[in-house]
Amino acid sequence: MAQKLEKAKIQQIVPKGETFDVLFNPKEYRLNKSNQFAEVAIPGLSAPILQFTRGDAQTLTMQLFFDTYDPVDSKVGKDQDVRVHTAKVTDLLKINAELHAPPVCQFSWGNLIFIGVLQQADVRCTLFLPSGIPVRATVDVTFKQFFDGKTETGLLQSANFAKQYIVRPGDTLAGIAAEKYDDPAKWRPIAEANDLDDPLSIQPGQVLTIPAIV
């Protein structure tokens, strides 16, 4: 039996929003991580001493392919407009009213889970109906890792002092409680705030509310 093709997905996770499959899985993707170093010149040395200053955010880049052309039904332009699908990607660049910034999203495909913000999307339409409606396009996208210095996947503070936490691989409610409350036994407020019947059911990428407790 042929193995079912797993589709790459893009999900808006903070604030929670739409999840959609890409029409065609990318042929490749590139992960980039770099560090910044300062050169400290010392008189008498043949080369400067390198001093680490900071790390740069990791980026994920790829080209997404979209094709809605149906030669049998080439006159039905409205249903074939490829921009209906590319807009789902480019809308992730819009400023969210709650965050006053673009939303945090997750790209997942197989065991790749990348949480970040969409930094750039370059749309190129390559095939058109006689009416001028585009039916084929590529979108070159760059996602930048979401990181605020508190956790590897980020933490957002809201006005009511509750926090949103994005679950990382290997996380448990007790471990999150230990990190946020300095007490692993205080996992129940997190479970109750998120209506979790099973404390072992959390998944990477899931957004949890971390309530303020006294």
Of the chain, the percentage scoring pLDDT greater than 90 comes to 43
The arithmetic mean of pLDDT across residues 95-114, rounded, is 89
The pTM of the whole model exceeds 0.85: no
Among 133-142, 158-167, 169-178, 203-212, the range with the most confident prediction by mean pLDDT is: 133-142
Pick the more confident residue, 207 or 133: 133
Of the chain, the percentage scoring pLDDT greater than 70 comes to 87
Structure confidence by residue, pLDDT tens digits, 168-183: 888 899 899 888 888 8
Lowest mean pLDDT among 47-51, 141-145, 176-180: 47-51
Pick the more confident residue, 178 or 137: 137
* Inter-residue contact 139 to 123 (CB < 8 Å): yes
Whose tokens are 């080209």? That residue is 63
**Cα–Cα distance for residue pair 68/64, rounded to 1 Å:** 13
CATH class of the structural domain 9-145: mainly beta
* Inter-residue contact 123 to 136 (CB < 8 Å): no
Structure confidence by residue, pLDDT tens digits, 150-165: 544 444 443 345 677 8
How do strand 9-14 and strand 16-21 relate by DSSP bridges? antiparallel
At residue 213, the pLDDT reads: 73
Pick the more confident residue, 53 or 162: 53
At residue 157, the pLDDT reads: 40
The arithmetic mean of pLDDT across residues 33-38, rounded, is 89
Lowest mean pLDDT among 2-6, 66-70, 97-101: 2-6
| Residue ranges covered by each domain of the chain | 9-145, 155-210
Residue type, 175: G
At residue 54, the pLDDT reads: 82
In CATH, 155-210 is 3.10.350.10: yes
Structure confidence by residue, pLDDT tens digits, 107-127: 999 889 999 999 999 999 999
Is the bond into 15 cis (omega within 30 degrees of 0)?
Answer: yes
**Cα–Cα distance for residue pair 200/172, rounded to 1 Å:** 7
Strand order, beta sheet including 163-166: 155-157, 163-166, 207-210
Pick the more confident residue, 50 or 34: 34
At residue 214, the pLDDT reads: 57
At residue 149, the pLDDT reads: 54
Asked if the model's pLDDT at residue 74 lies above 70, the reply is no
Asked if the model's pLDDT at residue 76 lies above 60, the reply is no
Taking phi over 0 as left and psi of -120 to 50 as alpha, with beta for the rest, 182 belongs to left
* Inter-residue contact 177 to 193 (CB < 8 Å): no
